[in-house]
């Protein structure tokens, strides 16, 4: 994958180059990032040269608080969480539990996002910081076309090192002040540990046979999976 410098946006990368059997994920077809509210005019030019569609996975409150500044491409909203993101901190949910929540309760919307990726338009998937909702969506799309498991997990794990340090310090201070009893809050907001994603994908393999079969069970057709492969593999 290639980390991209886009002024005003954190955690931007093109996942092209990841191995998938005898092929690789094509460059320029699937990008990921955090929210685009701080995108500068220079940053918009960088993205406009690469992206034709944005899949925004945030909920209504997040979009209202930090509306996207990117106007050069179609944006399709696919909110993955039903309810407030803040509730995960109130419940002291672990990352592993959050990801299970996504694949169990947000499966139709995950499938919708994968369908959009399969359309073939150069696509950017994003959420607030591009870690959890984006991480799961990207990992599922890549895994469904046979991308190398270690490289998929490595891409997910890279996120924590790409988050702005100032933001991370501020988030940690806020959580320690407002959720002092929460054991998982800091990890939930700032971490992308490889074992968590590896275990999620392993569980889907064990329960469904493969990630592709999980997506089929949630309504993605074989023709759509073939389209996903045609889009991503080259």
Q: Mention every residue, 6+ apart, whose C-beta is less than 8 A from residue 194.
A: 153, 154, 156, 157
Query: How far apart are the C-alpha atoms of 95 and 185, rounded to whole Å?
Result: 9
The pLDDT assigned to 86 comes to: 65
**Residue 185: pLDDT above 80?**
no
Query: How far apart are the C-alpha atoms of 188 and 13, rounded to whole Å?
Result: 21
* Mean pLDDT (whole number) for 61-69: 94
**Residue 98: pLDDT above 80?**
yes
CATH entry 3.20.20.450 includes domain 2-224: no
Which conformational region is residue 61 in: left (phi greater than 0), alpha (psi within -120 to 50 degrees), or beta? Answer: alpha
Residue 13 DSSP SS3: strand
Whether this model's pTM surpasses 0.75? yes
Query: How far apart are the C-alpha atoms of 100 and 193, rounded to whole Å?
Result: 15
**Residue 153: pLDDT above 80?**
yes
The residue with greater pLDDT, 200 or 91, is 200
Domain boundaries, the chain: 2-224
Are the C-beta atoms of 20 and 37 separated by less than 8 Å? no
The residue with greater pLDDT, 175 or 74, is 74
> How do residues 200-231 score in pLDDT, each as one tens digit?
999 999 999 999 999 999 999 999 999 999 99
13: how many CB neighbours lie within 10 A of its CB? 20
**What is residue 182's DSSP assignment?**
-
Structure confidence at residue 170 as a pLDDT band (50, 70, 90): confident
Query: How far apart are the C-alpha atoms of 51 and 213, rounded to whole Å?
Result: 29
Structure confidence at residue 27 as a pLDDT band (50, 70, 90): very high
**Residue 174: pLDDT above 80?**
no
């Amino acid at each position: 994958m290639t980390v991209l410098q886009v002024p005003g946006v954190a955690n931007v990368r093109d996942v092209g180059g990841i191995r998938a059997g005898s092929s690789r994920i094509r460059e320029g077809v699937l990008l990921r990032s955090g929210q685009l509210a701080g995108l500068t005019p220079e940053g918009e030019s960088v993205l406009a040269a690469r992206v034709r569609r944005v899949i925004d996975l945030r909920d209504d409150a997040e979009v209202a608080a930090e509306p996207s500044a990117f106007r050069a491409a179609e944006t399709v909203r696919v909110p993955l969480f039903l309810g407030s993101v803040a509730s995960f901190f109130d419940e002291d949910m672990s990352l592993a539990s959050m990801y299970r929540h996504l694949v169990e309760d947000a499966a139709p919307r995950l499938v919708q996002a994968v369908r959009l990726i399969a359309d073939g338009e150069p696509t950017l998937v994003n959420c607030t910081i591009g870690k959890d909702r984006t991480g799961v969506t990207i990992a599922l799309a890549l895994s469904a076309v046979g991308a190398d498991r270690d490289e998929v997990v490595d891409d997910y794990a890279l996120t924590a090192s790409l988050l702005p340090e100032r933001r991370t310090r501020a988030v940690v201070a806020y959580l320690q002040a407002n959720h002092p009893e929460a054991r998982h809050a800091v990890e939930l907001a700032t971490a992308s540990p490889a074992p968590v994603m590896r275990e999620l994908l392993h569980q889907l393999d064990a329960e469904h046979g493969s990630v592709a079969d999980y997506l089929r069970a949630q309504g993605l057709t074989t023709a759509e999976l073939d389209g996903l492969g045609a889009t991503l593999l080259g």
